[in-house]
Amino acid sequence: MHGVLPAHRYGQRELAGAVAALRPDGDGHARALAERFAAGAGVEFRHLALPLERFAELDGFGRTNDAWLAAAAELAERAAAGALREAELPPEQVDFVVSTTVTGVAAPSLEARLAPRLGLREDVRRLPLFGLGCAGGAAGVAAVDDLLAGRPGGTALLLATELCSLTLQRADTSTANLLATALFGDGAGALVAVGDAVDCAGPEVVATRSRLYPGTERLLGWEVGDSGFRILLGAELPELVRLFVGEEVSSFLAAHDLKPNDVTAWVCHPGGPRVLDVLQDELGLPAAALAPSRASLARCGNLSSASVLHILRDVLAAGPPPPGSYGLMLALGPGFASELILLRW
C-alpha cells in the first residue's frame, strides 16, 4: 500500500486567491466567493501536479490533457513502484493490473505506458477503468478481488491516479465548480493484492457491493466540452446520502450479521465535510470512526479515486486492527452510485 502526492503544496487560502485570479472576472468579488467556499471545505492544504504559475498556460483541453498525461505517468509510477517495494514483490510477479482515473484520457492507458517502466511482464492482464470518479478506488478493490478469485495464487496491482486540478474550468462560476475548486486535490495511490492461496499480512476482502441509485444520473459527474471536464455536483448529494447510503451500509453489514458498531476500521472516501457528517449521523458512529477521512481531507483534499487508498494506508500505519476485526471501505461516485468493501483482519 503506497500513496504519493505531487511536490507543489499550497495552503487553502493561497489557492483560493490564485484560482480567483485565473477567472475572467478575477476581481475582489470573485476572490471573496472563492475564499468563502474554501473556508468551509474542511481542507487546509492541497498538492498540485503543476506549480500555480503554470495553470495560466493551459488554454484548452488538448494542452491540459497533455499536461495531465505527463504528470499522471510520473505520479502513478511512483505509487506503483512504492507499493511493490513495500510488498517486497518483484514486478514480474504481477499477473493483473487495474488502473482507475477520471481526470484525464489516455490510449494506450496509463498502466500500459507504465508496464515497461515498472518491469511488468508483457503478458500482464490489464483492466483500465474510467468514469467511476470518487468510487473508483473502492471499485478497483472489488475488481481486483474478482480477478484473483479466478487465480488464487495470483498477484494484482491496483493503481488510482487523479489530477483534479487539471480539470479546472476558469470561466465556470457555478456553485458546483466553486465547490470543486475548493475541495479536490491531486494524488495517486497503489496497493498490491494476492489470491487466497498466498499468505499475506493485510486484510482480506470478505464481500463487495455496488449499487446504482436510479434517477440520480445528473447529480455527479462530468459534462465534456471543448474546455474539458465541467463538473456536475448536485447540492442535494448530502441528503441523498442520508436517504439511501446509510441504509445501504446497514443492510450490507446485516447480510454478514454485523452492525455499524461492529466495524473497527472505517475507510470512507472524504466526499466533503457535509457528506461525512451525514454518514456519521446516520450510522451512529463516534467521531473517531471517521477521523482518518477528515484528517486526509484536511491534509490534501479530496483525491477522488485515490483517497480511499491513502486512508487505508493511514489506518494501517496507525497499527493494524486486532485479528478477526472488521473494516469497511465506502466510496460514492457518478451514477449516482456507492461502492462497499467489507474487510477482515
Q: How buried is 126 (Cβ within 10 angstroms: 0-12 exposed, 13-18 middle, 19+ buried)?
A: middle
**Lowest mean pLDDT, pick from 31-45, 48-62, 196-210, 303-317:** 31-45
* pLDDT of the residue at 147: 97
* Inter-residue contact 302 to 105 (CB < 8 Å): no
Is-catalytic flag, 134? yes
Q: 298-320 pLDDT, tens per residue?
A: 999 999 999 999 999 999 999 88
Q: At what angle do helices 175-183 and 12-22 cross, to 10 degrees?
A: 140
Q: At what angle do helices 175-183 and 28-39 cross, to 10 degrees?
A: 60
* Inter-residue contact 46 to 185 (CB < 8 Å): yes
* Inter-residue contact 157 to 83 (CB < 8 Å): yes
N- to C-terminal Cα separation, the chain? 15
Q: In the structure grid, which three cell numbers stand for residue 265, read together?
A: 476500521
The rounded distance, in Å, linking the Cα atoms of 327 and 345 is 8
The rounded distance, in Å, linking the Cα atoms of 131 and 121 is 27
The rounded distance, in Å, linking the Cα atoms of 180 and 196 is 40
- Return the top range by mean pLDDT from 163-172, 182-191, 317-326: 182-191
Secondary structure element (H or E) that encloses residue 203, with its range: none
Of 134, 164, 268, 300, the active-site residue reads: 134
Backbone dihedral region for residue 291 (phi beyond 0: left; psi -120 to 50: alpha; all else: beta): alpha
pLDDT-above-90 percentage for the chain = 76
Q: 157-168 pLDDT, tens per residue?
A: 999 999 999 998
Tell me the pLDDT band of 184, cut-offs 50, 70 and 90: very high
Cβ neighbours of residue 99 under 8 Å, at least 6 residues apart? 76, 109, 110, 111, 126, 127, 128, 129, 140, 158, 159, 160, 161
Has residue 23 got a pLDDT over 80?
no
CA separation, residue 10 to residues 20, 30, 47, 259, 301 (Å):
15, 19, 6, 40, 11
Q: Spell out the domains of the chain, with CATH numbers in brackets.
A: 204-344 (3.40.47.10)
Has residue 102 got a pLDDT over 60?
yes
* pLDDT of the residue at 206: 97
The rounded distance, in Å, linking the Cα atoms of 248 and 283 is 10
* pLDDT of the residue at 179: 85
* pLDDT of the residue at 309: 98
Tell me the pLDDT band of 30, cut-offs 50, 70 and 90: low
Identity (one letter) of the amino acid at 30? A
Tell me the pLDDT band of 197, cut-offs 50, 70 and 90: confident
The rounded distance, in Å, linking the Cα atoms of 157 and 149 is 14
User: What residues are paired with 222 via a beta bridge?
Assistant: 231
Per-residue pLDDT averaged across 36-44, rounded?
Answer: 90
Identity (one letter) of the amino acid at 225? G
* Inter-residue contact 253 to 260 (CB < 8 Å): yes
* pLDDT of the residue at 60: 87
* Inter-residue contact 201 to 92 (CB < 8 Å): no
* Inter-residue contact 316 to 308 (CB < 8 Å): no
Has residue 26 got a pLDDT over 60?
no
* pLDDT of the residue at 57: 86
Average pLDDT, the chain: 93
Continuous H helices in the chain: 12-22, 28-39, 61-87, 110-118, 136-149, 175-183, 237-240, 246-254, 273-283, 291-300, 307-317
Has residue 33 got a pLDDT over 80?
no
* pLDDT of the residue at 18: 83
The rounded distance, in Å, linking the Cα atoms of 298 and 285 is 20
